Amino acid sequence: MTPPPAIPQAAGGLLGMGETMTRVVIIVIGVLAGGGIAAGVAGALLGGDDDSTAAVVTETASASASPSRSPSPSASPSPSPSASPTRTATPTPTATPTATPVPVSTDITAQGTLDVSSVFGGNQFPAALAVDGRRDTSWFSAGPAGDGRTTFTWTSPTAEFIESVAIAWNGQHATVAFRRGFGFTSMRVLLLDGDIVAKEVTVALSGGGGPDVTVPLGAKGTAVMFILLGSEAPNCGGFSELQVLALR
């Protein structure tokens, strides 16, 4: 038998189809590799062998890689506001404590006015002689009143804290005969604050010649009244000096 004739066209056709499919695959691979359709077509035109196709794909992929982004410049840090300096508190000056003044004993005798129950010989020995600062003069009364009292009152123009009063008797009178026998046996000392008796002290005496006597009072008042009792002479009696001390 005669063998069937060869069919060359059919073989060529199959080969042509295989080459065409190869180029299509190359185009698809090129697209998938990121090179795009143009890169796939170029690869197909360059030939169908596997090595050249791989080279084209690799090269296309490398060339088509996204360019690396330049690092974004880091933002310049905003300058931190410098801390406000801490103010030092101004020290408050400490008030200097005011010292409490200490009361001082003060002779206020001269500021008072005088009132007496009587004066011997008209005005021969007036009350002013009892506050003249002299031990050789004396105030003498004309004797006790009908109630047996002789009075001498010292009055201040303002209220004072009376510390004490002192009486000096006639022992140093300029007339020696007047130094004794014209005193009293007792007296009451009344510190008056207006019409109120703020304090009263009774003192026993030894006669007109002394000794001198100081009477503490320590209270506020406006006047001091001396009630002299037990006159040694029925028609005369008195003392040499009065002193009134106040705390100021």
21/3 Cα distance (integer angstroms):
32
Average pLDDT of 164-170? 97
Q: What pLDDT does 57 receive?
A: 35
Average pLDDT of 174-180? 97
The yes-or-no verdict on residue 207 having pLDDT over 60 is: yes
The yes-or-no verdict on residue 213 having pLDDT over 60 is: yes
Residue 75, token pair as written in the block: 């933002």
Q: Report helix angle 50-64 to 36-46, nearest 10.
A: 160
Would you tell me how many other CB atoms lie within 10 Å of the CB of residue 179? 19
The yes-or-no verdict on residue 2 having pLDDT over 70 is: no
Tens-place pLDDT, residues 221-232: 999 999 999 999
Return all residues near 42 (Cβ < 8 A) that are at least 6 apart: 30, 56, 60
Average pLDDT of the chain? 78
Would you tell me how many other CB atoms lie within 10 Å of the CB of residue 161? 15
Tens-place pLDDT, residues 66-107: 445 555 555 555 555 566 667 777 778 787 888 899 999 999
The yes-or-no verdict on residue 145 having pLDDT over 50 is: yes
Between 145 and 83, residue with greater pLDDT:
145
Average pLDDT of 23-37? 44
| Domain 105-247, CATH class in plain words | mainly beta
Q: What pLDDT does 97 receive?
A: 82
Confidence at 33, pLDDT banded by 50, 70, 90: very low
Q: Which of helix, strand or coil describes residue 233?
A: strand
Extract the runs of DSSP E, i.e. beta strands, from the chain. 105-107, 113-116, 139-141, 150-168, 186-193, 196-204, 213-229, 237-239, 241-247
The model's pTM is 0.62
The yes-or-no verdict on residue 211 having pLDDT over 70 is: yes
244/88 Cα distance (integer angstroms):
59
Percentage, residues of the chain above pLDDT 90: 57
Confidence at 51, pLDDT banded by 50, 70, 90: very low
Confidence at 210, pLDDT banded by 50, 70, 90: confident
Domain boundaries, the chain: 14-64, 105-247
Cβ-based burial of 227 (10 A; exposed 0-12, middle 13-18, buried ≥19): buried
